[in-house]
Structure 1
Amino acid sequence: MYFDQFGNVLACCINTIQTLGSYPAQNLSEIWSGESARKLRAALAAGDFSLGCHDCHSSISSGNFNAVNAMFDQQVLDTPHQWVVENPPLPDDQRDPWPRMLEFALSTRCNLTCTMCSGYFSSAIRKAEGLEPLPEVYGDEFVTELRPFLEHVTDVRFYGGEPFLAPVNFAILDVLCEVNPSCKVSITTNGTIWNQRVQQIVEVLKPTIVVSIDGFTTEGFESIRVGASREKVFANLQQFSRVEGCKVSLAVCAMRQNVYEIPDLVRFANSNSLHLGFNVVRYPQDHSLSSATAEELTEAIAIWEELLQEQWSLEAPLLSQPGQENLRRVESILSEARGWLAATADQTSGIVIRSSSASAAQDRRRDWLELIAGLAGTSYDSDAALREDAFQLELSRLLSEFDLRVAPQDRALRLALGVAELCDHELGPVEVERFHLFAAAIDAAAVAPRISLMAGLPPALIAQGVINLDPDVLASRLDSFFPPERNHP
């Protein structure tokens, strides 16, 4: 179970379509055994990715298997030996009644204003924007209810905000130290905090510390992770590494702004035998490689291919086992970049990819053009559905027509009801009301830029999300994934 900052309980951080439940409206046992969870399990068992698992489906289709976060069967193989000794496996005919993995993104407390982030994940950004902090849903009662789950869990992961700034995270970590110190713990941190309290937790639980580092040079690092000192973070990286049993790895957000930084980050990780993973930035669109031009993608592919050729030529011990795994992750993201490049043109020579990735992108563009053209009462150029650059131009033209032909006060509702028509069943009164809430969540003056951001997802998938998402958090989730433009520091 993945607990987000709004009280939503999800199967993973990406799938906000098929939420499992909401805390504190439901207790944890109800959420884990509820109807929504059963539906999602049944769909995935049947190979059906339609209940919000679009991101994993996209990565699988493009061959980027390392980006598939839901490979829980492989993650169980990494279970600490001591935990297995203390918790022998059940017979094959018995199902484990407890979740094996718990993921916590409980608080948005953060001391950085990273350029790809938003105020829905960083309190520092909200402060810079003159907004009040988001209310914190989780407290002592949550930790008490969570305790039996913590006694049985195999794998616990903490995200942020910055996890080492949130008291609720320390409360959970203290319980783990008491009842389940041999479980696998991972903490994703921005690396800015090292103190006695952190050191005590690390020495007992011996977690994997995942340090988010998106640039290698001082300029590259500090221009993205605004508010962090490159020197201090790399020094703290060494502090974590010195704790016996503590494993340190790096997490890199791959995006348009750090294409040139990635080779040096990989070299640094390989030379220090550190595992390195990539998070592919999808939003905001101006950071996403999937929205990059053909020229940008061609250059990125060439840079990463050169890196792979250089690093694979090294022999052991110069290329360690972590280094080999890191290069395979580069190969995976390279495969995905080739898919994005192929999707920008009618034909791509010399590149072999799974055609489903480009085909799905074309279907998505065509669906959006048909939707907006219909709402504007006009037609669209069908050729524009084939290439990303032409699609953006055609979408902008249609949005201008939409603005001219639809009164400002009617735009949001017109869009919401247009999306509603894409549902594969007749909507009931409750579902219709949700689309009215969806319209209310979109400021009329911001409809056009919202659509431009949403166009990275199929419109039918957004319709699914409106039906399934808790109405109380609809507006905040909308801003979280499709944020209003903000001026980056």
Structure 2
Amino acid sequence: MLIDTYGRVATDLRVSLTDRCNLRCTYCMPEEGLQWLAKPDLLTDDEIVRMVRIGVTDLGVKDVRFTGGEPLLRPGLVGIIERVAALEPRPRISLTTNGIGLGRTASALRDAGLNRVNVSLDTLRPDVFQAMTRRKRHQDVIAGLEAARAAGLTPVKVNAVLMRGVNDDEAPELLRWAVENGYELRFIEQMPLDAQHGWQRGDMVTAEEILDSLRTRFTLTPEPNGARGSAPAERWLVDGGPARVGVIASVTRPFCRACDRTRLTADGQVRDCLFARTESDLRAPLRSGATDAEIAALWKTAMWGKKAGSGLDDPSFLQPDRPMSAIGG
């Protein structure tokens, strides 16, 4: 098992397939983009599948989520999912995406073995979408969500980040739209993972503010038996259910004590925390002939030293050098 000194066991593996993205969200990266990883630095499809296989068969990983950057930009994505779905025991497989390419790939991803998707959409207004992402692709995301729903990649979850003075007035309308379309909406507090390091706590729309806004239009009831456990979202029934809404309050209501995640970057680094400032290289031993057992041992060592928490509440907190696009969610 991937256990740490606090007794937490990592059974959820987040795998970044690329650091590239076809959007330029203002809370993530500058308009000109970033210096992307060179292709030789990226894990190959075979290397990714091998790392996932070691996680699943040797280290107790039960859930595999593919992320980016934007994972739909990875040419071998369908084949990777198909091979991971063939593992024994079979993990649950999900994908976090901006949804732009889902309209043409949702059915193929389902056929390959993908179980469900999380799609990022922060606004229902095309002009606000363009301002936030610096791209005119709003309708493509809507079409991608519809394709995912039609393909049965359910529950289709929608991730939304609210920014003060930009889209923070949209929470009730986003929830109304999600309920009407059968999507499960999750609001995420803006986190200090932008490449520009411009995040300010005072600018962040908090979970309490989001909930207060939603309650102006909806009755929210805590989900029965809804102890969050290792799940990042606290969830509420909307107007008695069955629709639900979640809030991921990584900053104001951290869930570090029950964290069950381990992360693999696109260039083969293991990260024990989204906000870690250190990482452990598994690409070098992978390419120098290490056995599965040796890689598993290195992975265990990397996770053993995981800190008690993210440190976001510590005045000395420093953002990780890598932005979200290079870490994977």
TM-score for the superposition, normalised by structure 2 = 0.60
* Contact 2:117–2:157 (CA under 8 A) maintained in structure 1: yes
Residue in structure 2 matching 1:145, options 41, 47, 50:
50
Q: Structure 2 matches for 1:432-447, cutoff 5 A?
A: none
From the CA coordinates, give the structure whose radius of gyration is larger.
Answer: 1
What residue number does 1:270 align with? 179
Is the counterpart of residue 103 in structure 1 residue 14 in structure 2? yes
C-alpha separation in 1, matches of 2:170 and 2:93: 29
Q: CA deviation at 1:156?
A: 0.8
Instruction: Tell me, in whole angstroms, the C-alpha distance in 1 between the residues paired with 2:198 and 2:317.
Output: 22
**Secondary structure of 1:254's aligned partner:** coil
Mapping of 1:175-254 within 5 angstroms? 175-179=83-87, 183-194=91-102, 197-244=105-152, 246-254=154-162
Distance 2:62 2:216 in 1: 38
For the 8 Å contact 1:270–1:319, the answer to whether it is kept is no
Opposite residue 478 of structure 1, the aligned amino acid is: D
Query: Which residue matches 1:113?
Result: 24
Gaps of 5+ in 1: 1-31, 46-69, 73-98, 338-454, 466-476, 482-489
Deviations 1:423-454 (A, max 9, x none): xxxxxxxxxxxxxxxxxxxxxxxxxxxxxxxx
Mapping of residues 125-136 of structure 1, within 5 Å:
125-126=33-34, 131=35, 133-135=37-39, 136=41
1:485 matched residue in structure 2: none
Shift of 1:267: 1.5
Q: Structure 2: how far apart are the matches of 1:318 and 1:280?
A: 20
* 2:161 match: secondary structure: strand
Change in CA separation of 1:165 and 1:320 when aligned onto 2, cut-off 3 Å: farther
SS in 2 for 1:258: coil
CA distance in 2, matches of 1:305, 1:184: 34
Residue aligning to 1:458: 314
1:281 corresponds, among 167, 190, 197, to 190
Distance 1:140 1:282 in 2: 30
**By percentage of residues, which structure has more strand?**
2
Determine whether 1:311 maps to 2:311: no
**1:190 Cα deviation from its structure 2 partner:** 0.4
- Once the two structures are superposed, residues 340-361 of structure 1 have per-residue CA deviations (whole angstroms, 9 ceiling, x without a partner) of xxxxxxxxxxxxxxxxxxxxxx
Query: Cα 1:228–1:246, aligned 2, differ >3 Å: closer, same or farther?
Result: farther
Residue in structure 2 matched with residue 321 of structure 1 by the alignment: 241
Q: Give runs of aligned pairs for residues 249-260 of structure 1, distance below 5 A.
A: 249-256=157-164, 257-260=166-169
Q: 1:137 to 1:117 in 2, by over 3 A?
A: same
Q: Secondary structure at the match of 1:125?
A: coil
Given the superposition, is the C-alpha separation of residues 303 and 241 from structure 1 closer, same or farther in structure 2, using an over 3 Å criterion?
A: closer
Shift in Å at residue 319 of structure 1?
A: 3.9
User: Is residue 139–residue 168 contact of structure 1 (8 Å, CA) maintained in 2?
Assistant: no
Task: State the 1:291 CA deviation.
Answer: 1.8
Contact 1:273 1:320 in 2 (8 A): no
Contact 2:20–2:73 (CA under 8 A) maintained in structure 1: yes
- 1:271 maps to a residue whose letter is E
Aligned partner of residue 277 in structure 1, secondary structure: strand
Q: Distance in 2 between matches of 1:479 and 1:336?
A: 22
Does the CA contact (< 8 Å) of 1:181 and 1:205 recur in 2?
Answer: no
Partner residue, 1:158 = 66
DSSP-derived class of the 1:203 partner? helix
Distance 1:259 1:175, change over 3 A: same
CA change 1:291–1:259 in 2 (3 A) is: same
Contact kept? 1:112, 1:228, Cα under 8 Å: no
CA–CA distance in 1 between the matches of 2:72 and 2:220?
Answer: 39
Deviation of 1:214 (Å): 0.8
Q: Helix, strand or coil: the match of 2:42?
A: coil
Greater RCO, 1 or 2 (C-alpha within 8 Å, sep 6+): 2
Question: Deviations for 1:174-207, whole angstroms, at most 9, x for unmatched residues?
Answer: 2123335953211111010036554222134242
1:263 Cα deviation from its structure 2 partner:
2.0
Structure 1 residues 287 and 234, CA, compared in 2 at 3 Å: closer, same or farther? Answer: farther
What is the DSSP-based 3-state SS (H/G/I as helix, E as strand, rest coil) of the residue aligned with 1:239?
helix
Aligned to 1:478: 321
- The answer to whether the 8 Å contact 1:192/1:228 transfers is no
**CA–CA distance in structure 1, aligned partners of residues 315 and 238 of structure 2:** 48
Q: Does structure 2 retain, via aligned residues, the 8 Å contact 1:251–1:277?
A: yes
Q: Match for 2:218: what amino acid? A: Q
User: Which structure's residues are more often helix, by fraction?
Assistant: 1
8 Å Cα contact 1:182/1:205 also seen in 2: no
Task: Report how many aligned residue pairs link the two structures.
Answer: 246
What 5-or-longer segments of structure 2 have no aligned partner?
222-236, 254-310, 325-329
Letter aligned with residue 217 of structure 2: E
Aligned to 1:236, what secondary structure does the other structure show? helix
Cα separation, 2, equivalents of 1:156 and 1:270: 27
CA distance 1:133–1:336, change in 2 (3 Å)? closer
Give the counterpart letter for 2:47 in structure 1: F
Partner residue, 2:277:
none
